[in-house]
């Protein structure tokens, strides 16, 4: 098992399949000038599948989520999901995507074994989308969402980040729209993980403001804490139900005590936390010959990395140090 010294066990693996992306969301990536990970450092499909197999069969991982960068840009994605779905015990398989290309891929991904999908959509207004993501692809995302639903992926969740002066007035509209279309909406507080270090606590739209904005149109009843388990989202019943909305207060309401995650970057580094400043190299082990490259040795390195996991990143502290690796290269 992947257990740390604070009694937490990681059972949820996030695998970043690429640091590249076809959008440039202002809270994530700069418009240009971000260096990509060097090609030789990127794990091959076989290397990724081997690490997932070690995680699932030896280390107690039960959920695998593919992310990035934009995971739909990875050519081998369908094959990687197919191979993940053949593992015993069969993990739950999820994908976090910006939705561009999902219109074409939702069916094949579902057939390969994908169970669930989270699509990022911050606005219902195409002009605001273009400003937020620096690309005019709003309709592609809407088409991707519809295709995911049509393909039978359940639940289809939407991740939204509210940005001051751009879409911070849209929370109720997004919720009404998500309910109408059968999608489950979650708002995520903007985190200090952007490559360009543009995050400011003073302008961030925090959980309290998100909830206040939603309450101008909806009655929200908190779900009992027991229902939350290890999920980062606080969930609220909307009006009389059955719909729910989630708020992930990563900055103002951190959920580190219940964290059950471990992360693998596209270049084969284990990160125990989104905000960790250190990483453990599994790529070197994977590519070494002899005992160091055995499944057992790799599993052991992963366990050691987990034991060193810190209790909480203290984002609110004045001396908070942002990780060198930006969100797009960590895998959100």
Residues in 112-151 at the binding interface with ligand SF4, rule: CB under 6 A: 120
Contact flags string 312-331 toward ligand SAM, x per CB under 6 A = ---------------xx---
Partner touching 188 among ligand SAM, ligand SF4, none, CB below 5 to 8 Å by kind: ligand SAM
Is the distance from CB of 262 to CB of 62 less than 8 angstroms? no
Q: Which does 29 bind (CB under 5 to 8 A by kind): ligand SF4, ligand SAM, none?
A: ligand SF4
Residue placing its CB nearer to ligand SF4 in the complex, 21 or 142? 21
Per-position x/- string for 1-40, each x denoting binding to ligand SF4 as judged by CB under 6 A, each - no binding: --------------------x-xxx--xx-----------
Which residues are CB-contacts of 313 (< 8 A; sequence separation ≥ 6)? 254, 256, 273, 274, 275, 276, 320
Q: Which is nearer to ligand SF4, 213 or 328 (CB)?
A: 328
Reading the block at residue 35, the tokens are 């260096």
- Sites for ligand SAM among residues 119-138 (CB under 6 A): 120
Helical residues (DSSP H) of the chain, grouped into ranges: 45-58, 77-85, 102-112, 126-133, 138-150, 171-181, 207-215, 225-228, 283-287, 295-307, 327-330
Alpha carbons 151 and 105: distance in angstroms, whole number = 10
What residues pair up with 97 in beta bridges, in sequence order? 119
The yes or no reply on residue 101 touching ligand SF4 (CB under 6 A) is no
Distance CA(116)–CA(269), nearest Å, equals 25
Q: Determine what percent of the chain falls in helix, strand and coil, rounding each to the nearest 5.
A: 35, 15, 50
Q: Which of residues 150-209 bind ligand SF4 (CB under 6 A)?
A: none
Q: Which residues bind ligand SAM (CB under 6 A)?
A: 21, 27-28, 67-68, 70, 96-98, 120, 159, 161, 188, 190-191, 193-194, 327-328, 332
């Amino acid at each position: 098992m992947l257990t740390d010294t604070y009694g937490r066990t990681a059972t949820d693996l996030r695998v970043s399949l690429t640091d590249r992306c076809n959008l440039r969301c202002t809270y994530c990536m700069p418009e240009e000038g971000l260096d990509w990970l060097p090609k030789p450092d990127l794990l091959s499909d076989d290397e990724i599948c081997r690490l997932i197999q070690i995680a699932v069969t030896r280390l107690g991982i039960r959920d695998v989520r593919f992310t990035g960068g934009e995971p739909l840009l990875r050519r081998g994605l369908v094959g990687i999901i197919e191979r993940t779905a053949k593992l015993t015990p069969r993990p739950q398989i999820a994908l976090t995507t910006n939705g561009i290309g999902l219109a074409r891929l939702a069916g094949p991904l579902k057939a390969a074994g994908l169970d669930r999908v989270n699509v990022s959509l911050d606005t219902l207004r195409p002009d605001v989308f273009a400003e937020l993501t620096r690309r005019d692809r709003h309709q592609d995302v809407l088409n991707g969402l519809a295709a995911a639903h049509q393909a039978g992926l359940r639940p289809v969740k939407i991740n939204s980040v509210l940005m001051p002066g751009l879409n911070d007035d849209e929370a109720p509209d997004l919720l009404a729209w998500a309910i109408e279309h059968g999608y489950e909406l979650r708002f995520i507080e903007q985190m200090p993980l952007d490559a360009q270090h543009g995050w400011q606590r003073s302008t961030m739209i925090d959980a309290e403001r998100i909830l206040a904005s939603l309450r101008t149109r909806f009655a929200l009843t908190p779900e009992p804490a027991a229902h939350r388990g290890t999920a980062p989202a606080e969930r609220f019943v909307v009006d009389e139900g059955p719909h729910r909305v989630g708020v992930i207060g990563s900055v103002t309401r951190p959920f580190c005590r219940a964290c059950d995650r471990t992360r693998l970057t596209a270049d084969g580094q284990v990160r125990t936390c989104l905000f960790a400043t250190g990483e453990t190299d599994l790529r070197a082990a994977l590519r070494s010959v002899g005992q160091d490259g055995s499944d057992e040795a790799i599993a052991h390195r992963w366990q050691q990395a987990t034991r060193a996991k810190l209790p909480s990143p203290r984002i609110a502290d004045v001396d908070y140090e942002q990780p060198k690796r930006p969100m797009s290269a960590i895998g959100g």
